[in-house]
C-alpha cells in the first residue's frame, strides 16, 4: 500500500485531506527522515490499519530500519507519557507533579535517531494525543537544538492530517462492516 492508495481510499467529502497528504508528502521544510518518520510515528499513534500500512510502506523506502524503529518508539512512549503528563497537567492537586513518575522511559536517552528528528516525531504524536505539557516540553527542546517554527509547524500539520485521514477511514470502515 502506498500514500496514493491511501488517498484513493478517502471518500469525496475528504478531498481536502487527500490534497493535504500530497502537499505534505512533497514538503521540503523537513528532511526526508524528519518527514517520513513523522508520518510513520503519527500513523502508529492513531493505529488505523490502512494508514499504518501505507506509511509503513512509504517510510520503509526512505528510512533506515533503525529510524523506522525509532519512529514507532516515539508513538509508543508518547502513548504512555501523554496520558500521564496530561493528567498531571489537568489535576488541581499539584502534589502529584512532585511525585516521581516511576515509568520507564529509557528510549528517550538513546532513541536510535538524531535528537531533532525524534523530538519532531514526539511533538507530532503529543499533538495527536492532546498533551499540552508534552508539546511544550518537546517544542522547547527542538528550539534549543535549532529547529525552526516552520519545521515544528510542519510536524504538527502532518499530525493533523494523519489523524484526520485515520478517523475518516475508520468511520468508513465502520459503515461497511
Is residue 131 part of the annotated active site? The answer reads yes
* Exposure string over 103-113, b if 16+ CB within 10 A, otherwise e: eeeeeeeebbb
Amino acid 153: pLDDT: 98
Among the listed residues 38, 42, 122, 134, the single catalytic one is: 134
Please tell me whether the overall predicted TM-score, pTM, comes out greater than 0.85 for this model.
yes
Among the listed residues 38, 42, 122, 131, the single catalytic one is: 131
- Compute CA distances 145 → 65, 84, 98, whole Å: 24, 25, 27
Amino acid 59: pLDDT: 97
Long-range CB pairs of 141-148, under 8 A, 24+ apart, other chains included: 141/115, 142/116, 145/115, 145/116, 145/119, 146/116, 147/116, 147/119, 147/120
C-alpha cell at 29: 521544510
* Exposure string over 53-70, b if 16+ CB within 10 A, otherwise e: ebbbebbeeebeeebbeb
d(CA 61, CA 111): 20
C-alpha cell at 100: 516521581
d(CA 138, CA 131): 11
d(CA 37, CA 129): 17
Asked if 85 and 127 touch (Cβ cutoff 8 Å), the reply is no
C-alpha cell at 56: 509503513
Amino acid 159: pLDDT: 98
d(CA 87, CA 45): 18
Is residue 38 part of the annotated active site? The answer reads no
Q: What is the pLDDT along the chain (177 residues), one digit of tens a residue?
A: 689 999 999 999 999 999 999 999 999 999 999 999 999 999 999 999 999 999 999 999 999 999 999 999 999 999 999 999 999 999 999 999 999 999 898 888 888 899 999 999 999 999 999 999 999 999 999 999 999 999 999 999 999 999 999 999 999 999 987
d(CA 93, CA 138): 24
Amino acid at each position: 500500500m502506498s500514500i496514493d492508495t491511501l488517498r484513493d481510499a478517502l471518500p469525496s467529502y475528504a478531498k481536502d485531506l487527500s490534497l493535504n497528504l500530497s502537499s505534505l508528502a512533497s514538503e521540503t521544510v523537513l528532511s526526508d527522515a524528519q518527514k517520513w518518520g513523522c508520518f510513520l510515528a503519527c500513523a502508529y499513534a492513531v493505529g488505523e490499519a490502512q494508514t499504518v500500512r501505507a506509511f509503513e510502506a512509504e517510510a520503509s523506502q526512505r528510512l533506515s530500519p533503525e529510524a523506522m524503529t525509532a519512529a514507532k518508539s516515539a508513538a509508543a512512549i508518547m502513548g504512555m507519557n501523554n496520558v500521564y503528563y496530561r493528567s498531571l497537567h489537568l489535576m488541581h492537586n499539584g502534589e502529584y507533579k512532585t511525585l516521581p513518575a516511576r515509568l520507564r522511559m529509557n528510549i528517550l536517552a538513546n532513541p536510535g535517531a538524531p535528537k531533532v528528528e525524534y523530538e519532531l516525531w514526539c511533538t507530532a504524536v503529543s499533538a495527536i494525543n492532546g498533551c499540552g505539557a508534552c508539546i511544550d516540553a518537546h517544542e522547547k527542546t527542538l528550539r534549543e537544538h535549532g529547529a525552526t517554527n516552520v519545521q515544528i509547524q510542519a510536524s504538527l500539520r502532518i499530525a493533523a492530517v494523519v489523524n484526520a485521514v485515520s478517523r475518516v477511514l475508520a468511520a468508513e470502515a465502520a459503515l461497511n462492516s
